[in-house]
Structure 1
Amino acid sequence: MEIRFDGKKALVTGAGKGIGRDTAKALVKCGAEVFALSRTQEDLDSLVQEYPGIHPVQCDLGDPEATKAVVESVGPIDLLVNNAGITILEPFLEVTLDAFEKVMNVNVRSVMQVSQIVAKGMVERGSGGSIVNVSSLASKCALKEHTSYCTSKGALDIMSKVMALELGPHKIRVNTVNPTVVMTDMGVKVWSDPVKAGPMLARIPLGKFVEVDDVVHAILYLLSDKAAMVNGTNLPIEGGFLTS
């Protein structure tokens, strides 16, 4: 099944590393004109060295005013991947308002703001479009010390459904991908300890963690016309974790 995005413009947030970076590269390979947004200029510089056709967009999505100015400057977008996200780990009784607000600001507010700007353009042009929000299995099950993160991803899932409901009549589809542990560079470092990884792997019938390409391929599918009737869906990518 070939997926092509020739003539389409795509914006990927959190494109400096991990899932976002590989999604940006995959979209280029599929023919899209790609705008890669990251708060880290060095990551954008190395990405453009790999793929000179990518448009680098430097922005800290934690800053609402900067977000508005930068996303509006990008221009018309047909495909949006809201991948940027942060986490701050704290036991529930020690969660600070500052940490909670920082996580919600990036993981929920920025997605709403970026999506509003992009979707308004889609509506005005009447051409439709597709939005994929990168959520997490943490929206479906509780994780210790992840109060802020789990809450933010739960909010992201239901916000995505509201977006799908209201934007669907404008031919704009909105879906989420919800992976469990993903073997990004950071994921490998955090989950390389068998003692830590063992209990989590024991709950996954396929017996392995998610590879970055597993998530990227799902994102490409949901963005594409192959998923023309998929709207408002939270797609778990977790090897059967939720069956246990």
Structure 2
Amino acid sequence: MSEWTKRFSLAGRRALVTGASKGIGFETCRVLADAGADIAAVGRDEAGLAAVKAEVEALGRRCVTIPADLATVEGPKQAAARALEAFGTIDILVNNAGVTSIKSIIDTPVEDWEWLNNVNLRAPFLLAQALVPRMIEQRMGKVINISSQSGVAALDDHAAYSASKGGLNMLTKAMTVEWAKHNVQSNSICPTVILTPMGEMVWGDPAKGDPMKAKIPAGRFGRTTEVADLILFLASSASDMICGQVILLDGGFTAQ
């Protein structure tokens, strides 16, 4: 294996990916496994988890599936405990699971606010709290938080979602301040619209999607593989000096 390939290899690493049963999470499990990692796949859709397990195992890697409700306090804790029981340690944590509610500030019920923040912000906090101590002990680890461009640039009817993702970006920076000295790197990825099932729900109607696409200099929405490839880079040793960054993967949306 050439030296540059070794820097991007995840051979011998163990990754936990949330929201693994579909969209970005599913593709991330596939890409990380293809790079050599064993996978703890966390999600709510058991059929989707079975599909990702088959995909990962077809690549010759081990996959443990963990059904969990990340909207609860116990869900992330139990998922972390099961992953540690299976693998002993997790080297790469990908906090990908996310939910949204498209309502104006005035029309957003407190129940939606709490649900979004529980899944999008509290769950990554609880998972990191449970898994990072082992990373600190071994002096090696990666925390990759999947945020959103709307955590940086506000959009109409996205207030609760934007607040949760903006909070995740700041949590990423706080993680870096506390953990970079232990060789644990934390970074946040902020994609533009990716036409996952959730993306289709919000932006699939051309009447809404086309004006949004017109604001992106690249002229299109993103692809799940483009997010997964950036996750791969941040999960590898090639990115060890990148810490506490909020990385826009947005086709130039925020450049204007």
Count of residue pairs the alignment pairs up: 243
Give the equivalent residue in structure 1 for 2:255.
Answer: 243
Q: Given the superposition, is the C-alpha separation of residues 186 and 90 from structure 1 closer, same or farther in structure 2, using an over 3 Å criterion?
A: closer
Q: Return the alpha-carbon distance in structure 1 between the equivalents of residues 132 and 216 of structure 2.
A: 36
Q: Kindly provide the amino acid, as one letter, of the partner of residue 123 in structure 1.
A: I
Alpha carbons of 1:85 and 1:190: their partners in 2 closer, same or farther (altered >3 Å)? closer
Q: Which of 130, 134, 148 in structure 2 is aligned with 1:121?
A: 134
Separation in structure 2 between the aligned mates of residue 155 and residue 85 of structure 1, nearest angstrom: 13
Displacement, 1:186?
4.4
| Alignment check: 8 A CA contact 2:195 2:204 kept | no
Aligned to 1:30: 35
Mark the runs of 5 or more structure 2 residues left unpaired by the alignment.
Answer: none
Distance 1:186 1:60 in 2: 17
Q: Equivalents in 2 of 1:189, 1:69: separation in Å?
A: 29
CA–CA separation in structure 1 for the residues paired with 2:244 and 2:115: 26
For residue 106 of structure 2, give the secondary structure of its aligned residue in structure 1.
helix
Query: Which amino acid in structure 2 is aligned with residue 145 of structure 1?
Result: D
- Indicate whether 1:49 and 2:58 are aligned: no
- Worse-matched range after superposition: 200-209 or 64-73: 64-73
Please report how far the alpha carbon of residue 115 of structure 1 lies from its aligned counterpart in structure 2 after TM superposition: 0.6
User: Shift of residue 145 of structure 1?
Assistant: 1.4
Residue type of the alignment partner of 2:17? V
Normalization by structure 2: what TM-score? 0.90
* Paired residue type of 1:217: D
2:74 maps to what in 1? 65
Structure 1 runs of 4+ off > 6 angstroms? none
SS of 2:102's equivalent in the other structure is coil
| CA displacement, residues 94-119 of structure 1 (integer Å, 9 cap, x when unaligned) | 11111101110111111000011111
Query: Mapping of 1:1-244 within 5 angstroms?
Result: 2=5, 3-52=8-57, 53-75=62-84, 76-124=89-137, 126-188=138-200, 190-244=202-256
Q: Show structure 1 runs of 5+ residues with no match.
A: none
CA change 1:189–1:117 in 2 (3 A) is closer
35-44 vs 197-206, which moves further: 197-206
What is the root-mean-square deviation of aligned Cα atoms in Å?
1.5
Looking at structure 2, the residues matched to 180 and 225 of structure 1 have their Cα atoms a distance apart, in angstroms, of 26
Partner amino acid, structure 2, of 1:22: E
Say whether the 8 Å CA contact 2:142–2:235 is kept in structure 1.
yes
Partners in 2 of 1:60 and 1:40 — Cα distance? Answer: 10
Report deviation, 1:18. Answer: 0.3
